[in-house]
Amino acid sequence: MISSANGPNVATDSEAFFQSDRDIILSEQKKKKQTELGKVGNPIKFPSKILHFDIADNTIYTAQSGFIAQALAFPSEAELAEVKDVKNTDTAVYQGHKGPVTFACIAPPYLFTSSWDKTVKQWDLDTQELLKTFTEHLDFVKCVKLYDKKLYTCSTDKTIICWDLEGNVLGKFIGHTRAVEDLVIYDGFLYSCSSDTTIKKWDLSTFQEVFTFNGHLTSVYGLHIAEDSLWSVSGDKFAIGWDLETGNISAKLEHPDYVKSIVILPNGLVATGCRDENIRIWDPATEKVLHILSAHYDEVSCLKVYKGYLVSSSLDGTLRFWDLKATLSGKPIESREEQAVKESLLTAEEEAELAELLD
């Protein structure tokens, strides 16, 4: 509860101690969202924050801040048919990292995970046995990808390492000046993004830089490639589409906050996840938002498409499932005013109070 009659705001909730008025208002907004939209998207709840996930063979593998990777079956059509919580029926837990697990990469019969503990681990998918630990990075490992029987990892130590599956280092990609956040491999080239604001294209055979994409103003958090288009998301509040042939910008999608995740939908539309807790579906041709999906109550960390669903994860510790057919058949947002109303769960009075505090 907040009291502000003719004086400084005073919080009577013990959880609010040592928080600013703005923090308290935003916390109340999250609680309200949990109450009103808690079951939207058929959430599966986890014990810690979900930093990344992968899906294969009807199984979801989550990378969590609680030092574990966790596997569970993809929900059935019956479970997703009505708005309700979906039971977390665990099929496996991969436990051994000594820090938050940042990435899960499925490569049957193996699972590869990366962590803040500076390592990459290789697991047997079926037995959950730890098979190998890759140690060479000097700081947090952010991403791991398998391509042509080689492992590619990136880290906040500014490097990208190529490994063989025995754990030997085959080469390093050196060129970024700050943390490397994400990797994608496409058509024989490696693409990396960094908090140094750049995206780099690398020759896989020579480990040499081929091209640098410049256009973001601050950290680039994620990459996605589909239909010969490269997409990137950044703390500058933009998702940018790039022409792979020329390196020119083909689209810029402006958000109200940091953009943390992106995926291309089967019909060519673009879905983005934002620090403002919302998922947006865009028409890249017009650079307009068509739909906003609200239910998460923390940053949207990862997006995937599987079996006709857009699957989202969040630092709120949930996975949610959005029926794409139903979502895209709904009425698109027609104006910026409608968008603003849909994005906000604050009352007019709360909006005014928050605005006053921000001023």
DSSP annotation string for 294-338? E--SS-EEEEEEETTEEEEEETTSEEEEEEHHHHHHSPPP-SHHH
282 pLDDT exceeds 80? Answer: yes
Q: Could you give the percent of the chain with pLDDT greater than 70? A: 82
The letter for the amino acid at 163 is W
Q: Both tokens of residue 146? A: 């398998």
The architecture of the domain spanning 233-241+257-347 is Beta Barrel (2.40)
pLDDT band at 8 (very low <50, low <70, confident <90, very high): very low
Residue 117, exposed/middle/buried by CB under 10 A (0-12, 13-18, 19+)? buried
Distant-in-sequence contacts of 204-209, Cβ < 8 A, 24+ apart: 204/147, 204/148, 204/162, 207/162, 207/171, 207/172, 207/173, 207/174, 209/173, 209/175
Quote the strand ranges of 167-213, DSSP E: 169-173, 180-186, 189-194, 199-203, 209-213
Instruction: Report the chain's C-alpha Rg in angstroms.
Output: 21
108 pLDDT exceeds 50? Answer: yes
Nearest alpha-carbon partner for 40 in 346, 349, 278: 278
What pTM, to 2 d.p., does this model score? 0.86
So what's the pLDDT on residue 32?
Answer: 66
Residue 167, exposed/middle/buried by CB under 10 A (0-12, 13-18, 19+)? middle
pLDDT band at 84 (very low <50, low <70, confident <90, very high): confident
Quote the strand ranges of 189-314, DSSP E: 189-194, 199-203, 209-213, 220-226, 229-234, 238-243, 249-254, 259-264, 270-274, 278-283, 288-294, 300-306, 309-314
* DSSP 8-state symbol, 86: P
The predicted model gives 262-290 an average pLDDT of 97
So what's the pLDDT on residue 82?
Answer: 85
The predicted model gives 317-327 an average pLDDT of 96
Nearest-angstrom CA–CA distance, 352 and 291: 26
Mean pLDDT of the chain: 89
Residue 94, exposed/middle/buried by CB under 10 A (0-12, 13-18, 19+)? buried
Distance of CA 117 to the CA centre of its chain: 20
Phi then psi dihedrals of residue 40, to 5 deg: -65, 135
More confident residue, 240 or 12: 240
* DSSP 8-state symbol, 8: -
324 pLDDT exceeds 80? Answer: yes
